[in-house]
Amino acid sequence: MQAVMAVETAGHTRGRRLRRLALRIILAAVLLTVIWVGYLLWVINRFDPGPVGESYDAGIVLGASLWRDVPSPGLRERLDHALKLYEEGRFDTFILTGGYGGVRSRLAEAEGMRNYLLERGVPESDMLLETTSTSTYDNLLNSKAIMREHDIEKVVIITHEFHSARAYDIARYLNYPDADLSPAKSEVVPEHQQQPREVLAFTKWKIDSLLLKLGLRLPDF
Contact 107, 129 (CB under 8 A): no
The predicted structure's pLDDT at residue 189: 79
Q: Report how far Cα 46 is from the mean position of its chain's Cα atoms.
A: 16
- Cα–Cα distances (Å) from 53 to 28, 30, 49, 91, 130, in that order, read 45, 42, 11, 10, 24
Contact 76, 64 (CB under 8 A): no
Evaluate if residue 160 carries a pLDDT over 90.
Answer: yes
Indicate the average pLDDT of the chain: 88
pTM of the full structure:
0.84
The predicted structure's pLDDT at residue 218: 59
Q: Which CATH architecture group holds 58-213?
A: 3-Layer(aba) Sandwich (3.40)
1-51 residue pLDDT tens: 555 455 455 556 777 888 888 888 998 888 988 998 888 888 888 888 888
Q: Report how far Cα 52 is from the mean position of its chain's Cα atoms.
A: 20
